Amino acid sequence: MKKILITGALGQIGSELTVHLRKLYGVENVVATGRRIPKGSSVVEDGIYELVDVEQANEIASAVKKHKIDTIIHLAAMLSATGEKDPVKAWNVNMGGLFNVLEVAREMKCAVFTPSSIAAFGPNSQKVKTPQDDIQRPTTMYGVTKVSGELLCDYYHKRFGVDTRGVRYPGLISYETLPGGGTTDYAVHIYYEALKNKKYNSFIAEGTYMDMMYMPDALEAVVKLMEADPSKLKHRNAFNITAMSFAPEHIAAEIKKHIPEFEMSYDVDPVRQAIAESWPDSLDDSAAREEWGWDPKYDLASMTADMLAKLREKLNIK
């Protein structure tokens, strides 16, 4: 990666990945893009920023051409819960956006990184330690776009030689930008509520396991995979990766070690609960470990300690 363009750069991942890549590759070599220009955003104000709606292929093409981009990191998307509220929009943004990015990449000879998700699996996938190559019959529109996206990226690699690479992220936990409407969002909200109100009402039921990951590991995955020797990659789109698997009561117990008064209650949202139940409890990430050295640093205990410390500072809570 020498000249990188990021779509959806104002989102949960993009807002941190932009800053991370600017540090690694130089401010002048990372072009962040999004659909708005928010005030006070370091993504917009501390480097190159362009307005790009990924549903408009010409907007992607002109930014790529203008900045002589060689790698597109495509993050603009609608997530699982918002996708179920408006499945047509989710299809148009997720598939239309990816198709436009791949076409621009083909014409302008760019590499492409785009994340898939645990949502690419469904109820008839293996539930525990879901293998890299398994049945993929998801039951959400978000999941349908993720499997279709994986296939489309494989197709562009095989048919046109585009260097497409991707990972299946689990739920991501971070303190910089709130998540954008997913099923795993409870595992971020819980830290805010624990610090502000010492209680949390979970919309996901006790006993519901999902894979999760702390943002620093998620950022490292992008760099490691995109810098990996292509001859070592047997898979491309997309690698299972994970850092931990837990249910709501486990994160609550970990928070209680730092905030003993913390109390957890449950008010289960049937839509998001059904989505969670259709996803794996945990993934087998051995292919990523073998093919490009995936090795996450954070577990539930170290992530919780860091999240609470960073959020205390951000929210100015003693």
Least CB distance to ligand AKB at residue 221 (A)? 14
Catalytic residue among 142, 156, 175, 200: 142
253-257 contacts at long range (C-beta below 8 A, 24 or more positions apart): 254/300, 254/301, 254/304, 255/190, 255/191, 255/194, 255/304, 255/308, 257/304
- Check if 142 is active-site: yes
Residue 171 near ligand AKB by CB under 6 A: yes
Residue 132 near ligand AKB by CB under 6 A: no
For helices 97-108 and 57-66, angle between their N-to-C axes, nearest 10 degrees: 40
| Residue 183 binding result from ligand NAD, ligand AKB, none, given CB thresholds of 5 to 8 Å by partner type | ligand AKB
Sign, CA torsion 229/235/236/240:
negative
Q: Which stretch binds ligand AKB (CB under 6 A): 16-24, 59-67, 116-124, 229-237?
A: 116-124
**C-alpha 155: how far from chain center:** 22
| Residue 14 binding result from ligand NAD, ligand AKB, none, given CB thresholds of 5 to 8 Å by partner type | ligand NAD
CA angle 173-174-176, nearest 5°?
160
Q: Which stretch binds ligand AKB (CB under 6 A): 88-96, 126-134, 178-186, 298-306?
A: 178-186
What is the C-alpha separation between 171 and 118, in angstroms, rounded?
8
Residue 80 near ligand AKB by CB under 6 A: yes
Residue 145 near ligand AKB by CB under 6 A: no
Candidate residues 7, 136, 164, 184; the one interacting with ligand AKB per rule CB under 6 A: 184
Least CB distance to ligand NAD at residue 146 (A)? 7
What is the C-alpha separation between 152 and 96, in angstroms, rounded?
11
What is the C-alpha separation between 56 and 264, in angstroms, rounded?
44
Peptide bond preceding 238 in cis form (omega within 30 of 0): yes
Q: Give the pair of three-digit tokens for residue 244.
A: 């931990």
* Integer angstrom CA distances of residue 165 from 4, 5, 181, 308: 14, 15, 24, 33
Least CB distance to ligand AKB at residue 212 (A)? 9
The residues binding ligand NAD (CB under 6 A) are: 7-8, 10-14, 34-35, 53-55, 75-77, 79, 93, 97, 115, 117, 169, 171-172, 179-180, 182, 184
Candidate residues 4, 43, 79, 152; the one interacting with ligand AKB per rule CB under 6 A: 79
Q: Which is nearer to ligand NAD, 192 or 199 (CB)?
A: 192
Residue 245 near ligand AKB by CB under 6 A: no
Residue whose beta carbon is closest to ligand AKB = 182
Q: Give the pair of three-digit tokens for residue 94.
A: 């997720």
Give residues in contact with ligand AKB (CB under 6 A).
Answer: 79-80, 117-119, 142, 170-171, 182-184
Catalytic site positions: 142
